[in-house]
A and B are shown apart, each in its own frame.
Chain A
Amino acid sequence: MKQPDPLTQSIHAYLEGRATDSEIDLLNSELKRNPEALDRYLQFADLHSCLSLEETLRTAETDLPPLLPFPTPPPRPLSWISWLARPWMGAAAGLAVGLCGASIAWAIASPKPPRIIPVPFHTFADQPMGHIPSSFPKTTGIWSGDPSEIVLDPESKTGERREILRFLRAEADAAFPQGPAEACDVLQLIDLRPLKAQALENGDSLLQLTASFSDRRTEAGEPIRFSCRLFLYSGDPEHVRERWPQSQLKAVAAANTYCESPGGSPQTPHLVTVKTVLAPQADFAVLQLVAGPVFSPHANPPVLGEQYVSDVKLTLRTQTAPSPALNP
């Protein structure tokens, strides 16, 4: 097959997230002046999205002749799209937790002020200084995960002792050591059972995780994405641990928020908040704090060491359920 022309090549590069400035310039000018270019772009972009969203491939897979011997793929944290696409393919009702979840349910709750209940969990000050245990937490109340350490904040302005967590290195998931090292993940397991009765009798409950990330690189460099994630599960945490991160798909509720930092503003904290409805069947939660690359899944592991997270807070906000008139 002959080499694609510059326009097609630019389209591919853009879809792969690696277009150069000149390729983007070419795309912009061609899409403006050339209707054929617009059609070509849309056809490739649509093909790319179909393949990315897996559904077509999943269907096609059943019809395909056997593939080449395929080694167990290095599993990565399953994309959020996989997580969300399934309910769409199944029943629309499944979206209640995903897209129509926390914020929307909250938006139509009654105007009574919420009741905020702190959730017992371990802050960085509750854990010994130094490297945190590796891999997925084996018990509740312990921060563990990829190489990171709890240190005293050298830049604490108040002069007070202040423990913060420093992301050191991206590492593959312990369950799949052959997988790619994409991001530095830190996790804590929270037992929700003691909270549930209290929460549910107060109406809708929203679990909220807040963390303050800081990127203390003095000069701008490769952008870093800081993510806050919450997963709620029912049943035995051991099952989640064994299959992490694939077990993300088994969560009864989940939420993810992130911010990005290019570096160069060491004094600027990035406050990230994530919330999800406390599903009645949830028994425990997994909190996940991540420092990773922006251009996943094709990015190289980020160089870490100057990225920190502090002031992690977990709260439960309860509010009277919406009136029947609003929710027929």
Chain B
Amino acid sequence: MDSPSSPVVSSPPPLSHQRFCALFAEVAPELLRYVMTIIPNVADAQDLVQETAIALWNSIDRYDPSKPFKPWARQIALNQARQFLRVESRRRRFVEEEVLNLIEARRIALAPKLDARRNHLSDCLSRLPTEQRTLIRGYYFEEETIESLAARLNRGVEAIYKALQRTRQALSLCLDRKLQMEP
């Protein structure tokens, strides 16, 4: 029992719904990027982030508001992703548990570099040849299917996949070069 002179230790006030939404809104884009590093399908990743929001709120009483929100949210998102992969494993047995942990750890370590690379993406996109920009725009921005792109550009499906891969390669090389040029 506490003596009358001992300090009163009170639990932190619960996080209000509004505060939670504000915190979540802050981390949501990063969570989505994070989830997409393991589950590249946008629709799946988006659903998973929604589920993460619900899971976070449902376990809000376990969150200590004196600690940063982001790592906690990321951990819950990772758990959601694990569950998803377990369910999906029959069809798409991607990364094993050990690999997931490695990706998580490495992603945290690599975060500053990935952030810096993103800063140059706009520039690197503008330097792509027109044909590659058309591909990126069609595939990612307009969400055109590979088949539709192939038909529109009068090329085979496999050729479009290869061209997209080369485009991502080119972008990645450009981002690396830009990063090396940074002071």
Contact = CB atoms under 8 A, between A and B. Distances in A.
Interface of A: 1, 4, 8-9, 12, 14-19, 21, 24, 27-28, 31-32, 35, 38-39, 41-61, 63-65, 67-68, 70-71, 73-76, 78-81, 84-85, 87-88, 92-96, 98-100, 103-105, 107-108, 180, 223, 256, 258, 262, 294-298, 300, 322, 326-328
Contacts of A16: 40, 161, 164
Contacts of B17: 100, 104-105, 108, 322, 326-327
20 contacts: A8-B165, A16-B164, A19-B94, A44-B172, A50-B118, A51-B140, A53-B36, A54-B140, A57-B136, A61-B141, A68-B131, A71-B152, A84-B28, A84-B49, A92-B26, A104-B21, A294-B91, A296-B41, A326-B17, A327-B16
Interface string B34-64: 0011101111011101100110011000000
B70 interface: no
Contact of B21 (A42, A59, A64, A92): A92
B41 A17 contact: yes
- Report which residue of B40, B94, B106, B140 has the largest number of chain A beta carbons within 10 angstroms of its beta carbon: B40
B69 interface: no
Contacts of A15: 40
B29 to A, nearest CB: 5
Contacts of A96: 21
Contacts of A322: 17
A298 B157 CA distance: 11
Contacts of A300: 147
A196 B53 CA distance: 27
A17 B40 contact: yes
Contacts of A18: 161
A81 B91 CA distance: 24
B20 A100 contact: yes
Contact of B130 (A17, A57, A67): A67
A73 B41 CA distance: 21
- Report which residue of A45, A223, A256 has the largest number of chain B beta carbons within 10 angstroms of its beta carbon: A45
B121 A60 contact: yes
B122 A73 contact: no
B159 interface: no
Given A47-B117, A74-B144, 19 more contacts: A9-B165, A17-B41, A27-B94, A38-B102, A42-B103, A46-B33, A46-B117, A49-B45, A52-B42, A60-B121, A75-B142, A80-B46, A94-B25, A95-B28, A103-B54, A104-B20, A104-B53, A180-B147, A326-B16
A256 to B, nearest CB: 7
B106 A42 contact: yes
Which range contains the number of B residues in contact with the other chain?
A: 35 or more
Nearest to B38: A45
Given A38-B106, A67-B137, A95-B21, A56 B40 contact: no
Interface in B54-108: 54, 57-58, 90-96, 98-99, 102-103, 106-107
A81 B33 contact: no
A45 B40 contact: yes
Contacts of B49: 84, 99
A108 B40 CA distance: 32
B69 to A, nearest CB: 13
B166 interface: yes
A223 B92 CA distance: 12
B151 to A, nearest CB: 10
A43 B137 CA distance: 20
B94 A57 contact: no
Given A28-B99, A99-B49, A223-B91, A57 B137 contact: yes
A74 B99 contact: no
Given A46-B33, A87-B25, A99-B53, A52 B43 contact: no
Contact of A99 (B50, B90, B140, B147): B50
Contact of A79 (B33, B43, B148, B172): B43
Given A1-B166, A60-B121, A328-B16, A49 B40 contact: yes
Contacts of B37: 42, 45-46, 49
